[in-house]
Amino acid sequence: KQEVTQIPAALSVPEGENLVLNCSFTDSAIYNLQWFRQDPGKGLTSLLLIQSSQREQTSGRLNASLDKSSGRSTLYIAASQPGDSATYLCAVIMYSGGGADGLTFGKGTHLIIQP
């Protein structure tokens, strides 16, 4: 059974810092990995999707890397801003032969950027 772990569970940093969020998964046979952002009480916003054949994806100040063999992904946020404060979720999708299973999520990293 796939398990996804995110470290740290919570992080508070001053504005302007670069930071790294970590995600690890136990079964490396993933189809893709997705990073989401969730604001309190709201739905999820997809940030980056990395296909299993890819090593990284970039969008603006965000860069996500994937090392499938070691079961790890990192989300790098450059020049953090107070508006980046949210919970960041990592999720993997497996391919079960008949199609895609649901996403398996980590419990998230609660990020606070101090002005």
Q: Give the separation between CA 64 and CA 41, rounded to whole angstroms.
A: 25
Among candidates 29, 43, 24, 27, which has minimal Cα distance to 90? Answer: 24
Does 20 bind another protein (CB under 8 A)? Our answer is no
Q: Which region, judged by CB under 8 A, interacts with another protein, from 15-23, 45-53, 56-64, 66-74? A: 45-53
Give residues with Cβ within 8 angstroms of 99, minimum separation 6: none
User: In this complex, which beta carbon is closest to another protein, that of residue 64 or of residue 80?
Assistant: 64
Asked whether the beta carbons of 33 and 49 are under 8 A apart, the reply is yes
- Given 18, 46, 59, 70, the residue binding another protein (CB under 8 A): 46
Q: Does 108 bind another protein (CB under 8 A)?
A: yes
DSSP 31-74: EEEEEEEE-TTS-EEEEEEEETT-SEEEETTEEEEEETTTTEEE
Q: How far is the CB of 32 from another protein (least distance, A)?
A: 7
Q: Which of 7, 10, 29, 31 is close enough to bind another protein by CB under 8 A?
A: 31
Q: Is 65 in the site for another protein (CB under 8 A)?
A: no
Residues that bind another protein (CB under 8 A): 31-32, 34, 36, 41-46, 49, 89, 91, 93, 95-96, 98-108
